[in-house]
A and B are shown apart, each in its own frame.
Chain A
Amino acid sequence: MNPLFSLTPTERGPIVNVREQESNIPLTISIETTGLSSLVEIGQQVARGQRIAADNYGTQAALHSSVSGTVLDVKTNFILIKTEGDRIADLLEFSTADSRTMLDNLRNAGINVQHLKQGCTLIINAVPPESGIDGHRFLIEEFNSIMIEGLTYLKDALTPIACTIAIPKGMNWTLAGCTVHEINPVYPEGLNAMVVKAVTGKEMPPEVSVIDAATLYRIGRTIHGKQPVSDIMVKVGATLFQAPVGTQVGLLARLAGFTVSQHDRVILGGPLSGEAVYTLRHGISPSTQAITVLSSGSEPTIKDSPCVGCGECVIKCPARIMPNMISRHSEFGLFENTLAYNIASCFECGLCTYWCPAQRPVLQYIRLAKKELSKQPILEDLRK
């Protein structure tokens, strides 16, 4: 089998702590704040764990400084902080009054709770999303008690009817209070939609909440320390790093032994579904699990060429839709038509783009159509 699609976790190597490695030079972190409003100004001194950006509408998770330092710059989408001093913010309060408050507390502590629903089936997804993104192996094996603490809090907040941890086949990971479900370790089986199908037997059921193992650890760590999590596990190449949130990708790539030169690509996440960054000064977000560095080849992977109708994408699509027709309509702005080809079933695995012999950016066309369609007002009755 193609090793690119293997989700079996690799052997655990040593962990490189970025703070210790770079202790002699002040670290500069950059935290992406897209969609949030900044709570700090240039020159302001911030403490480790201080809230620096929050959502005015109360849906997205807040962001916190992972270091004690001085704000260097506040841009539209970024806040740059230079390490200085050793201040630590006040401890957070976690009430156990009611579900709403508990989730709000989590959101203020930097955890995304948008997809968590009351009375659902809770699934902990511990399958690597892509080959090699297995930093959570260390967390499950070494910090099981922290994760159980997080799970207990979540159970109190959500009162789920059942709780399951999905693990790749061959691993002996367990979590107290959870049934274990083994997943065939082949991409895209580790994506949330496929894991939900494997566990519940239903496709995209409404009464399910999925949370990945790294996020569960962050919840546990937040509850345990009463502080927002500042350090996360990031896999760069074959090296596992413990890095503060906002560490610049350039630093991590250098520590992992990569030399990034002109026109290379640096990707937050894996090569099949990750997000490319445009500068090495881009910082990692709290939910980043891996960084992939791809050297530039002679040929571009994506071209502006027409669809030749070979049907590779249709046969490879795990959502059983027609990416070829969706991309053809989306290419010419006929976004309404894509609904007839079940665009809403797509869970963005990226396999269509990987296999397309015409090298079309199929997934990008699908995303464009989805974005344009979701902008439109809801006219029909959705309860049908």
Chain B
Amino acid sequence: MSFTTKEPFASTLLAKYENLPRGHYIGLVLLRTTQSETIFRTEGSGEPLSREVTISGTKTGQPIDRIVISKRKQTAVERRTGRELLRDFEVYAGDNKECLLNTQNPCGKCPDCYLYGYAVGSGGAQRSRVMTEDAFSLLDAAEVTSERTFNALFDNSTMRNPKTGEPSTSLGSSEYVRPGTHFLDIETLKDVTAAEFIYAMGNILQSSRYGAIGTRIGVVKNQILGIAVGKQEIFSTLELTQATYDLLESKQHPLVTETVAETAVRAAASLIGKVFGWRGHWISGNDLTPILADVAESYQNPAKLVADLQACYEKS
């Protein structure tokens, strides 16, 4: 955990969890690239993907449809990733085993409850210190989506029930996001400790399946493009998506991930200069490598990471 003791992290990361906001922000600029067909929708099976009309760029612009990964569905996945680790190291043992997501009974004392928050349990409410935004597809929805027909066959590999001869009703079509589609995103961590910072980064980097039918499709690769460390929140994901769109030479699917990453970093670097009153640090490119290596190293000794996390909440 060497980087956390150096500037700018040393003065930004808190030593222990504090109940009052101090406004120490860390913005993680992310590139999420779909590695398989993915489905991001909110209305249920058979409904179209979540989309939003936005202006294509900041300078050039006509309205285009963009696919949206809704903000709730990002932390939902990443929390579960983190909770697997916590459960593996007995955080949910003993009287704490009832702490389950969506059971109206959060324990209020595990790192997940503390960092990602909970509402209206018997122990009050904890505001999340991981703030997410809707992630937008870089390109027009028409470019990055397609449709598949699905059916479900009976045991005899036909659409007729072998016993009754009744036809199967499970026939339909789903819209999906094509593999290799790029979504730009920002997750903001507020007032976190060093262990929480590493845990949140690890959860993002280790989460691999987002959206519907996650056991079959939905594979997403997350990449951290830059880290903004400072006393305020940075630009929005939409601004970043639009500014990157402006700089892109080709606006046709598929795009080379490396090109998108480089372009997005350039866009972010120019946007961060325009953030009102910005006097924080922007870390990207080669400067990021040792940080990511340190995070990976922390996960080589997960027992210590979990112990460090729990130590953040010990009452002194």
Partners in one complex: no
Residues of A at the B interface (CB closer than 8 Å) are none
Residues of B at the A interface (CB closer than 8 Å) are none
